[in-house]
């Protein structure tokens, strides 16, 4: 489209045009021509490598033969599965817990405990730009396929090791998972319901988030650091480098001002549930009626919730006119500093919930929309998956996957006008690309590949 036509557009029209999801595959990829290795498991490391693949790198996921990495077998309810798991186990499938952190990757099955497997890894490392790995610290170094060995083979390779506690220090040998990282990193202490001493009648408990936020956040930070190292290599040094990411310290990084708050004033941050410590009204309100009465699904049978946000003095004043139960509190809590106090928040939110007890979240939303008060019902995965806005923007999309058929997948939450990230497939069976990778990167012939398979190397 001509440049003058773009200039004449409204901002919405401009965004719709330059980010048109139907034209993504007509555009180049930012990291086309780069190669990445993913020797990873679970979510922390795989999500990092997944981001490389979405940006156009040819990303090779190396797993142990036949059953693959553990995350293939970790999924809610142990089903449903996407079949097949591998050509050696066609009756088994990969659980949907594997979904979301392995898009666009090529899958190579190698037993890198064996000398022949180590040789394969070395041959691929020799032609690789970047590698992500998240085994326990020093494991790959001990096996002879870590950064120190890879750097001798390929000095230009960037190597990202991602783990729980870092490669040195008293906690380094501990295994870590997302929940442990959040526990030690401080996020759990401020996530969950407050107790009676905080102006709330319930007994307060920390709350684990159902999804693995620290892992996906950590993968993003690993990717961010890796891209920075590639820029430095390509523009300044000519050589790669070693990167370490600590899941625990990543969790600490996102707990906002709570660390300097304690250091300067000795204040220990408290849990504040579904309300906000710094803004009021700016939290979740419990409604009294379910949106799906009679549903046999527990979540749908429960009364719904809705976010209502009116933190500024003028917004709160308007909210008090809309909700009769708040009118008596309009002058008492007219000022921002008064509203954010625990006792005030408890009084305000309980009054709002009393008003909402005969309403669904949709009915409350309609009232808020009519009065131009910012609000949003709490949506389930079912409700999110059915939103036109998400599909229109390609942030949810159907993929005609070559192995698994039509699969609904989360799209990319960021959009690049000229070099958009994209999804080609969701993932593949274990070892699906053995022949392609071993021929391209290792120079092996088909007879040699069959021999490796016969000897359980691949």
Tell me the C-alpha distance between 329 and 324, whole Å: 10
pTM of the prediction?
0.92
Work out the burial of residue 410: count CB atoms within 10 Å of its CB; fewer than 13 is exposed, 13-18 middle, 19 or more buried.
middle
The predicted-structure confidence for 385-403, as pLDDT tens digits, reads as follows 999 999 999 999 999 999 9
pLDDT at 424 over 60: yes
b/e 266-289 (16+ beta carbons within 10 angstroms → b):
eeebbbbbbbbbebbbbbbbbbeb
User: In the prediction, which pLDDT does 1 show?
Assistant: 47
User: In the prediction, which pLDDT does 99 show?
Assistant: 87
Nearest of 311, 304, 309 to residue 378 by alpha carbon: 304
User: What mean pLDDT do residues 187-191 have?
Assistant: 87
pLDDT at 65 over 50: yes
User: In the prediction, which pLDDT does 76 show?
Assistant: 65
% of the chain beyond a pLDDT of 90:
78
| 190 and 269 Cβ atoms separated by less than 8 Å | yes
The predicted-structure confidence for 116-152, as pLDDT tens digits, reads as follows 999 999 999 999 999 999 999 999 999 999 999 999 9
Instruction: Report the residue count for the chain.
Output: 458
| 118 and 26 Cβ atoms separated by less than 8 Å | no
pLDDT at 53 over 50: yes
Judging by DSSP bridges, how do beta strands 130-133 and 35-39 pair with one another? parallel
Tell me the C-alpha distance between 306 and 130, whole Å: 44
**Which are the contacts of 127, defined by CB distance < 8 A and separation ≥ 6?**
35, 154, 441
User: In the prediction, which pLDDT does 86 show?
Assistant: 94
Q: Which long-range contacts (CB under 8 A, 24 or more apart) does 235-240 make?
A: 238/156, 239/155, 239/156, 240/129, 240/130, 240/151, 240/154, 240/155, 240/156, 240/157, 240/158, 240/159
Nearest of 451, 448, 434, 338 to residue 106 by alpha carbon: 434
Query: What sign does the dihedral 358-362-365-371 (CA atoms) show?
Result: negative
Tell me the C-alpha distance between 136 and 163, whole Å: 7
pLDDT at 263 over 80: yes
The model's confidence at residue 199, banded by pLDDT at 50, 70 and 90, is: low
Residue written as tokens 């509203």?
339
Tell me the C-alpha distance between 176 and 173, whole Å: 9
CA distances from 269 to 189, 194, 263, 274 (A): 8, 11, 12, 15
- CA end-to-end span of the chain: 49
User: In the prediction, which pLDDT does 2 show?
Assistant: 52
How many DSSP H helices and E strands does the chain contain?
19, 13
| Residue predicted with more confidence, 370 or 250 | 370
User: In the prediction, which pLDDT does 407 show?
Assistant: 93
| Residue predicted with more confidence, 192 or 426 | 426
Specify the range with the lowest mean pLDDT, choosing from 243-252, 379-388, 439-448.
243-252
Tell me the C-alpha distance between 132 and 61, whole Å: 10
Tell me the C-alpha distance between 235 and 57, whole Å: 18
User: What mean pLDDT do residues 87-109 have?
Assistant: 93
pLDDT at 3 over 70: no
Q: Name all domains of the chain by residue range, CATH numbers in brackets.
A: 18-252+394-454 (3.40.50.10540), 282-385 (3.30.1540)
Tell me the C-alpha distance between 198 and 183, whole Å: 21
Tell me the C-alpha distance between 95 and 74, whole Å: 6
The predicted-structure confidence for 312-334, as pLDDT tens digits, reads as follows 999 999 999 999 999 999 999 99
pLDDT at 202 over 90: no
Query: What sign does the dihedral 404-458-133-121 (CA atoms) show?
Result: negative
DSSP 91: T
What kind and span of H or E run contains 419? Answer: none
**Which are the contacts of 193, defined by CB distance < 8 A and separation ≥ 6?**
200, 202, 203, 204, 205, 207, 271, 273
């Amino acid at each position: 489209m001509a440049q003058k036509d773009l200039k004449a557009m409204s901002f919405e029209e401009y965004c719709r045009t330059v980010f048109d999801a139907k034209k993504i595959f007509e555009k180049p990829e930012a990291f086309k021509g780069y190669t990445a290795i993913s020797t990873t498991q679970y979510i922390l490391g795989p999500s990092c490598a997944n981001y490389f693949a979405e940006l156009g790198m040819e990303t090779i996921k190396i797993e142990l033969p036949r059953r693959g990495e553990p995350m293939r077998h970790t999924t809610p309810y142990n089903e449903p599965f996407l079949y097949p798991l591998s050509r050696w186990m066609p009756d088994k499938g990969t659980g949907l817990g594997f979904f979301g952190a392995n898009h666009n990757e090529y899958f190579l099955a190698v037993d890198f405990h064996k000398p022949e497997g180590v040789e394969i890894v070395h041959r691929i490392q020799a032609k690789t730009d970047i590698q992500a790995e998240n085994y326990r610290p020093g494991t790959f170094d001990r096996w002879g396929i870590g950064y120190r060995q890879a750097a001798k083979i390929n000095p230009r390779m960037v190597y990202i090791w991602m783990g729980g506690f870092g490669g040195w220090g008293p906690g380094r040998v501990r295994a870590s998972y997302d929940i442990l990282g959040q526990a030690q990193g401080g996020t759990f202490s401020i996530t969950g319901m407050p107790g009676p001493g905080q102006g709330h009648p319930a007994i307060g408990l920390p709350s684990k988030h159902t999804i693995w936020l620290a892992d996906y956040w950590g993968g993003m930070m690993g990717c961010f650091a890796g891209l920075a190292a590639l820029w430095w290599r390509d523009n300044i040094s000519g050589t790669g480098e070693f990167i370490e990411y600590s899941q625990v310290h990543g969790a600490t990084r996102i707990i906002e001002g709570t660390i300097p708050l304690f250091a300067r004033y000795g204040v220990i941050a408290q849990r504040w549930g579904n309300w906000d410590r710094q803004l009021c009204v700016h939290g979740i309100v419990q409604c009294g009626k379910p949106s799906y009465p009679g549903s046999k699904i527990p979540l749908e049978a429960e009364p719904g919730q809705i976010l209502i946000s009116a933190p500024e003095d003028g917004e709160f004043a308007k909210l008090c006119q809309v909700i009769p139960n708040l009118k008596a509190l309009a002058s008492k809590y007219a000022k921002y500093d008064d509203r954010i106090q625990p006792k005030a928040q408890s009084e305000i939110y309980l009054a709002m919930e009393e008003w909402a007890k005969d309403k669904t979240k949709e009915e409350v939303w309609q009232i808020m929309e009519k009065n131009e008060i910012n609000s949003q019902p709490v949506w389930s995965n079912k409700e999110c998956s059915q939103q036109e806005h998400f599909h229109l923007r390609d942030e949810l999309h159907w993929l005609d996957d070559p192995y698994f058929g039509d699969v609904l997948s989360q799209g990319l939450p960021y959009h690049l006008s000229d070099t958009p990230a994209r999804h080609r497939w969701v993932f593949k069976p274990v070892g699906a690309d053995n022949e392609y990778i071993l021929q391209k990167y290792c120079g092996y012939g088909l007879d040699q590949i069959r021999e490796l398979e016969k000897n359980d190397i691949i």
